[in-house]
Amino acid sequence: MNDTERPTWCDIDLTALENNYKAIQTHVGNTEVMPIVKADAYGHGLAQVATKLEELNVPCLGVAYVEEGVSLRKAGITTPIHVLGGAVERQIPLFLEHNLVFTAPSVDKLCQINEAAEAANTKAAVHLKIDTGMERIGVHHYNAETLFGAALQCPAVEVEGVFTHFASADQPDLEFAGVQLERFLEALEFYPQHSLPYPKRHIANSAAIVALPEAHLDLVRPGLLLYGIAPTIETSRKINLQPVLSWRSEVIYFKVVEAGNPVSYGSTWAPEASTRVVTLPVGYADGYRRALSNKAQVIINDQLHDVVGRVCMDQTMVDIKDSSAYNGDEVTLIGSSDAHQITVEDLAQWSETIPYEVLTAITARVPRRWHT
């Protein structure tokens, strides 16, 4: 670390990312793997993660928004990029200009894409989106035939794939996930009924990759799994994952707090006896959530210590009791020491949220350092 770099940072282990991708590929066999790199690659760095994945010759990358796809193209990524989310009509030319794969969630949008591609004298690569129970975007499964039929009437559209999304594949009860898979497969019968080959079929997210092998079909879409986070306990037992991100800070202040003196905003915590408290230069503006107040732990000098008082916008206090800590000592917020580990799942549990939100909430003002 250079002398001017902020004393709070994330380390991104690109070798662990490679391990996870290969482990997922081994698990699904001949099924294609589309790594999901939306939301700044879940906080891991969009361009850097995509560059590493391109080196691994992944067949395609998945993003949420067209802007993410454009950003990857400007970063020099040439791998096919599928924009999984919807787009407004004025964004269609951006897809064509940057050779991005469309999601067509309606007949109207499909026709708009076709008209734009015809005007540009090109063909648009499209995946048709079917709603099997998420009620987000996509044509309802019982109306899928209208979308499939419309696509056959769009000469400037090439339907590469058809997909849907599980709403509850990470739940212990997989009954509804099974219903969604059944609905999807029934809708896809349109193709053999019309003597047509199936487009690329995909439904499996991270949880379904492990929990529902029958849902692998032609392609799977790992997101959280790629970054070494198990969406379910069963996942970690079946795929050898390595955490890709660790989050660290440094002690910037030490003081003795006398018994009964409250710490931080709102006076939500005070020691029962005189204790040692250190301050860290990290807070909720960095994504270290306010909900972690009086709940989280950190690692300092290979010992676990409690976060005390309310997490502030830019600073967090830790009770080290009778231990020693000095300015500049490293603090682990997410990661491992010799004897202890704090995981993304731990932060999610302490703040009563999900690992996805923990990762994507780490803001851009926290520097990332990438390692191979």
DSSP state of 170: T
307 near 297, Cβ under 8 Å? yes
Cα Dmax for the chain: 80
Helix 46-55 vs helix 14-28: crossing angle, to nearest 10: 50
Burial 129-141 (b: 16+ CB within 10 A, else e): bbbbbeeeebbeb
DSSP state of 263: B
33 near 220, Cβ under 8 Å? yes
DSSP state of 230: -
CA distance 77 to 81: 9
Angstrom CA distances, 84 to 65, 79, 124, 125, stand at: 7, 15, 15, 13
Active site residue 265: yes
List the catalytic residue out of 142, 253, 265, 326: 265
List the catalytic residue out of 21, 38, 52, 356: 38
H or E element, residue 26: helix 14-28
CA distance 282 to 304: 17
Structure tokens at 264: 């931080």
Burial environment of residue 36 by CB neighbours within 10 A (0 to 12, 13 to 18, 19 or more): buried
Burial environment of residue 175 by CB neighbours within 10 A (0 to 12, 13 to 18, 19 or more): exposed
> Which residues belong to the active site?
38, 265
